Structure 1
Amino acid sequence: MPALIRRHRIDARLLTSGQPWPEQFAGLQQAGIEAVINLAAPTSPNYLPDEAARWQALGVQYAALPIPWEAPTREHVEQFCALMDRYAGQHLLVHCALNLRASVFVYLYRVLRRGEARDAALADLHAVWQPDAVWQALIDATLG
């Protein structure tokens, strides 16, 4: 079975990655994933239109918040933070197509809601990627 795309463990209850392959869903559920937040847009090349049904069949809670690659906004960040708060305390997978959107949004959540030090959270973000100009602008606008 292939590895998760750009898999990155944040802590014992939070995992980020790119789009899981259908054959990985059951293994993730068996490994303890209780909820999934998908930030991929339907136009992403590896998008699974039936993903919600696949997770729900395994008893895993699922939420989709499609984030446009070229136009992420503070409103998207606020919506994401509300979803993260909803699943607080659960073993959670946050993913998108390649763990780029997911890593930025999780970084922002950690700083804004968890009150974590920017440097510590930034190390996890940079372990996945260095945000391009569009995504760095979102970070700068959100964190001031």
Structure 2
Amino acid sequence: MKNTLFQFLAGCFFTAISLSTQASDTVEHSPLADLKNYQVNTARMVSSGLPNRQHFETLKSQGVTHVIDLIPGDRADEIAMMEALGLGYHNVQVDWENPTLANFDDYVLSMQQSLSKDGKTLTHCRLNWRGAVFTYLYRVTQLNESEQSARQDMLAIWQPNETWQAFIDQVKAKYQQH
């Protein structure tokens, strides 16, 4: 009886280790595991740092139909990739040192257009710092989500510096007037 109990417990132990290893392998080998600062913001909004083609393909398979790119400059390569993948695309050229109300207004319009259709929208920049701020502000000013919950998600990505905190304050002041 003692030997049988030992065999049973040993079997349970090795099964638990095997299941644990499989679960961690799944997380570590997820196609999005190396996508910088990937975050699910709402059921229809996700954000991240700069995805590569494999990331975009995976995101598309997970329901992303529209991409909002916050990186300034020549975005011709990404535009071509989005066309090839059949994803909607909009670029809001946000200068890191000078984000503007016009940038956010452009973002709001693009989000409203994309969320009026089926699918999810990906907001991205290089590290998801701009993206974290823009998705936070959209959630608070447009979706009337909890300030605490949306801010917690933003802070999980980064702590806004002085320039970006001033931008946040400016956007919130504008939209709280309406």
Same fold (TM over 0.5): yes
Residue among 84, 90, 93 paired with 2:111: 84
Tell me whether 1:39 sits opposite 2:70 in the alignment: yes
Tell me whether 1:24 sits opposite 2:51 in the alignment: no
TM-aligned CA deviation for residue 12 of structure 1: 2.1
Q: If you compute each CA radius of gyration, which structure gives the higher value, 1 or 2?
A: 2
Tell me the secondary structure at the aligned position of residue 87 of structure 1. helix
Structure 2 equivalent of residue 59 of structure 1: 86
Residue among 8, 30, 40 paired with 1:9: 40
Contact 2:44 2:115 in 1 (8 A): no
The unaligned stretches of length 5 or more in structure 1 are none
Tell me the secondary structure at the aligned position of residue 68 of structure 1. coil
CA RMSD of aligned residues (A): 1.5
Sequence identity (%): 35
The unaligned stretches of length 5 or more in structure 2 are 1-30, 174-178
TM-aligned CA deviation for residue 49 of structure 1: 3.7
Give, in whole Å, the separation in 1 of the partners of 2:60 and 2:124. 14
Give, in whole Å, the separation in 2 of the partners of 1:40 and 1:140. 22
Higher relative contact order (CA 8 A, sep 6+): 1
Which amino acid is 1:102 matched to? G
TM-aligned CA deviation for residue 29 of structure 1: 1.2
Number of corresponding residues: 140
